Structure 1
């Protein structure tokens, strides 16, 4: 007696194609996305090595004396022209008074010498000799020179007196204030520093391999480590030189050449200056903050093609000198 197998028994079940197709599509999409991210990573100029910078004005007195007024506080904002330091003016007021007295004395002596020389110049040769006339004329000239010197000393005394009041040359913030009222300020030595609030910019240190994609005028995106906001700026210049360690000689004057592996070449980093277009009030800039900078390549050319004015910083390179005949 023969037995028959049920229908379909012993046959391999057929797998649906939809999951396989979905898996292949996901893998293809991941591959395309990975390739695109790799291209963006390799070709888009960006760096995490960025620093916020600003000009710092060092306030150095030009005259010495005791500090009698110090109306500013540390980390406080000051306007251009605000008084920062007042040095005791008494000595310089006395010096000015002495200089003015010297000017008056020199003027009186000059008037007397000129009158004497004029009287003898009008006398005849019988009353006065030619030598005496020349001697009195020379004395008048010397008195005129002494009068000019006294005037110059008076002007210097006035200038020194005005320098006892030191005002802020820029708008900015007083930083790292260590001086106090009563301290002695020495001419030529720093008393305080003011960070120019109108001069903040960002230096992005880009590898030399991506510099060909950066042009003055390109749009830049700046992300500060301290704030979540993304700031917008534009490239104003690319550094034209960095330090070369191999140029430093040793104690004997011989060249110091650092050994490197022939199959490894580290890309140098060149500073690229980015000026911020707008800083929101919620962001407090401070020199030294860490920033990530990315450049929108070709934005300068796109702006120029749309009729926008070329940036002033993107000036053409100077012409090459013509060869000598």
Structure 2
């Protein structure tokens, strides 16, 4: 039978009011968020939950304040994963995260306490704001070969992810991004600017490395109780340390390669825990037509979380995936 794998996304998946239907109707999901938020208030003197669901913040607004987006991305996905495990009894055999999503995967797998990871993410945001230049990430709908063939891209941006043949992502400084946008517009190449203010997975972050690692010196890392698949190394890992979580934000993303490694070892039942549904969108492009793996998403910017949860239950029952 297919093994269950939870998927977690990173920066760029966030938006205001994400998970609102679940937050307003599901006690377990809401209480998990509020419990985490209580700790966040101690750390940063503000509520991430109130910021996400502030009535003056609309879904269409850009959610790019790293002080709030870092913990928010973690909290929403962790709360959903815990709800699936404890209330719906859907327990993963493995976890896989992309970029910041690696921190959620680590907490769900038992590698690190969620409160310790929240502290690290809040400190990471503070350090990046203080130490790093502004910039961002842009996803380009085109052949990844364009990166090497275009001096403007090759010389001014880092190739941070190749999702599939017609889809790749680069990060760059603010000035370089403006020039890249103008170039892509002139060539009529489609692209999407991610809602981030800093050039993640880029050497421009290197000034923050030592400060960030210092925040993790006192954190205890355990062996995973649930199989942990790396979105950085594209393989299963049996232990990680503080430097791994620096690599998760600094090194290129190999999420697609990790999926292919998973597929090579048998069918999977993928559950996308991201707020955007982006992991499943990627799987749709990556999985072979011959794959018998199944995939399910719960959250997306258009809501319908309760409907999607019912469909998940039906899929699980159809495949006899009982814990």
TM-score, scaled relative to structure 1? 0.17
- In our comparison, the structure showing a higher alpha carbon Rg is 1
Report the structure, 1 or 2, having the larger strand content.
Answer: 1
